[in-house]
Every structure is written in C-alpha cells, then in structure tokens.
Amino acid sequence: MAAPAPTPHATGFPAEGRCGYYVAKKKRFCRMVVAAGKRFCGEHAGAAEEENARKRILCPLDPKHTVYEDQLAKHLKKCNSREKPKPDFFIQDINAGLKDETEIPEQIVPISSLSEEQLEILIKKLKKASEALHDALNDPKNGDSATKHLKQQASILGNIEKLKLLGPRRCFVEFGAGKGKLSHWVDIALKDAEKVHFILVEKVTTRFKVDGKHRKKNSVFERLQIDIQHLCLNKIPVLSREKLPVVGIGKHLCGVATDLALRCLVETRGASCEERNEEPLAKRIKNDKTDKEINTLAEEGSEKNVPEKWTPVAGIVIALCCHHRCDWRHYVGKEYFRALGLGAEEFHYFQRMSSWATCGMQTTSVEASAVPRSRESESDNSEDHDEDGGPRTPATHAASLPGFLNVEEKKKIGHLCKLLIDQGRIEYLQQKGFHPMLQYYTDPGVSLENVLLTALPTQSSSAEATA
C-alpha cells in the first residue's frame, strides 16, 4: 500500500491560499485565508515585508485582536466588541434592589480568620434563627416526583406538570438558560399546544444551543442576551403585545441570579401590571359585548382559548444552587433577616458557610486543625458547576476551617444556612401574594444541589386545593 502524500505543514510550507505566518506556539502555519496576491492574513499582515510600513496595534475595545493604526477610527465603528444600542427591555438595575450602604460593613473578616469563639457565636445565631423554621424539605408529601424521575430535567418537568403549568397560551421564561435544554424538554412535553412562547435569558454567548433546532409553528423561541439585573419583562415585545401569563423556570440558577429572577417576575412583571390597572381579558370582553355575543364566545372558548382570568405570573419553578454566591444588596429576604435580628454581616457569613453543605469535605477535624489556616482561601470562594450541575470543590475547604467542628457538623450547618436563605425567599413570595414551597426534586447522588423552589399565585393555588 502506497504511503500517503505529505501534508503541506509536514513539508514546512503553508497550504495553498492560506497564511504564511508560522505560529510557534501551535507548531504550524496559520490557517486563515489570505487575500489575492497576499502572503499573510489580516491578523499577521505586519509580518509581511511589503507591509512593514503599516503598523498594527491592539484594538482598544478588545485586545484579543489587532488593527492597522491608520484604520483605527474606521474599525471602531464596526468592531464586534463595540457598545451596541440597548434594547427597550434593558433598564439599568431594575431588578437589583435598593442598596443600603450603611448596612454593609466596610471590611468583613474572612471565616478562616475568625476565632473559635466568634464562630460559635455565629453558629448559635444560625441555630436560634432556624428553630422557628418548618423544614418543608423533610415533609413526606414533597419530593414524590424525585422517586419517579432519576434525571434532573425530567424531575423539574414533572413538577411543572404537577403544578398544572403545562398548557397553551403562555410564555415560559427560562432564566440562566445556557444551552436551553430545559425549555427544549418543556416544548417536547407540550406537544402541539397552541400559542406557546419561550424566552431564554442568558447574559453570555452560548455555544451548541438547542433552541435553534425548534421549527414548530405553535412554539416560538426567542433568546435574550442580557443580565437578569437589567431585564424588564413588560418591555419585551411579545409580552407587551399579547397578554400571556408568564411561567418562570430555571435549572441551577446560581445564587444572586435567583433573587434577581424572583424580583424580575414578582415586581417588574406582576407589580407593573397591577399599577396599570389592567383588567383580565375575559372581564374586558364582558364589558364590551352583549350577553348574546358572550354566549357565542363561550361556545367557541375551546377554539379561541380565551382565559377566564389573566394573571401576569402563572407560576415559578426554579432549581436552586450556589447560595454562597448570594449578595445582600440583591437578596429578596432582607426583611425576614431583620425580623430575626440579623443583618448584612451575618448574611455574609451564612452565605459563605452554606458552601460547607456541598464542598465535599473529607478531611477529619484533626487533619484540618493540623493544617495552617490561610487567608487567601477565602478570597475566591466560587463554586462553579460541571455540565451536569454537580458542584465542584470550592476554595473554602476543610483545611481552611476551624478544627473544632467535624465534617458532618459542618455539612449540617451548611444546610441550615441554605435553608435560612431560602426561607427568606419563601417569606418574600408569600408577601407578594404567592404560595411558595421548597422540595427535593432529585437524589443527592445526581446533584448535591437538589432543592426546587416552586410558587403559584395564591388564588390559583387555593382554587386547586378546593378542586
């Protein structure tokens, strides 16, 4: 069998029509296409002998690429990194909450620098605040769907169906959508439901999105690249044009994003509609039509699917995670904390200690006490997630924590911190006219972050209970 012909790179020459610049780091020639009569691509044109007179500089908007110095003004007008006009639904800090500078201490000592006495005082405050909590997570009525569904997506979908939120004429808003897989499965479950919209909110560009594969006539997918902090739902064209009830969904919505999403749904969407004194669609129809026309409309109700009562937010289903990434400014449960005699400083420590529940500490208390404490371990307490949603080990591990607590005690304290923060969200939703609930939605073996927050408008939930 004849040996294959050597490739251009193997012979030390660039491929035909490709850039002649040798990239030493990659040990190959650049593969960019060159213009007719040129040896180098635009990025490496400075290396060409005939172009030595023209200087290339780093783009001031994005130093990852270069530009000819004499064409800088022209480039800045079309650079992809330039600041683009803000859409109508962008309102600066609309969901951020009020920032009270007086409540936030200027300097907070890291947990690793606290004395045992100070830490014991914090734990006593936590346990005292947790005494009044009803642990709904241990309620045998909750988490039934978790035994039927082994995967997170299926379990979340099962809870959405259990709350009777799957149906026609509604808009599903997925916060922190990523690739959009949760909306993908919701769309499959809806089958041929009419007039269903999906709005996928994600602040960064995402590769391998699945929402682009949907071409069904009855479902419309729209992706918004925006931070939830600045999102005004009422300004989105489809929601301002059509009175569709919104269902807020999210899978592993990290820390502060959960609070921003709740405020976006409850205050920005719900409160704004109430302030405009918008009547339900059925009521407006009744005022404008005669009894005969109403009867005719009622007979055709199944075809036109006119709702009896329109609610701006039909329900909320969010899988929680990363409580250590919460922020006092954006937290929706401030009033709950204040009622317990707690403030910004205690919140700061509790949200940091919440990572003890999921950080996978395996060192014993003796080993932990033998290792010197490090202040730097507190500087980057981030707990990113793998593709399947499982938490990675954060910087704050057992070695940097006081040794008088064993692993199980730390995990228990971490779970108490999570529950306390979530209870503040429950109280917030109750004050806003919702019936919220916490429940386990999957097995800890699938994900350690296995708590689901659901909420229905009080009228809707009471109607279901009566039925």
CA gyration radius for the chain? Answer: 28
* E strand spans, 255-369: 313-321
- Tens-place pLDDT, residues 176-199: 999 999 999 999 898 878 889 999
Side-chain half-sphere of 87: how many Cα atoms within 13 Å?
Answer: 15
Joined together, the tokens standing for residue 192 give 């041929």
pTM of this structure: 0.72
pLDDT at residue 265 is higher than 90: yes
Kindly give the residue spans of alpha helices, DSSP state H, lying in 243-329: 256-263, 272-275, 281-288, 291-299, 301-304
pLDDT at residue 76 is higher than 60: yes
H/E stretch holding 56 reads strand 56-58
pLDDT at residue 65 is higher than 60: yes
Burial of 398 (0-12, 13-18, 19+ CB in 10 A): buried
- Using DSSP bridges, classify how beta strands 313-321 and 451-457 pair: parallel, antiparallel or unpaired: antiparallel
Which of 277, 436, 267, 419 lies closest to 357 in space, CA to CA? 419
- Tens-place pLDDT, residues 155-182: 899 999 999 999 999 999 999 999 999 9
Structural contact between residues 172 and 196, judged by C-beta atoms closer than 8 angstroms: yes
pLDDT at residue 6 is higher than 50: no
Using CA atoms, how far residue 63 sits from 68, 74, 77, in Å, is 13, 17, 16
Average the pLDDT over 424-439 and give the result: 95
Average the pLDDT over 230-244 and give the result: 91
> DSSP label at 381?
-
Instruction: Return the C-alpha torsion angle 124, 128, 133, 136, nearest 10.
Output: 20
Joined together, the tokens standing for residue 459 give 């009228």
Residue 14's φ and ψ, nearest 5 degrees, are -70, 155
Structural contact between residues 358 and 449, judged by C-beta atoms closer than 8 angstroms: yes
Instruction: Return the C-alpha torsion angle 13, 19, 22, 26, nearest 10.
Output: -110
Residue 403's φ and ψ, nearest 5 degrees, are -90, 0
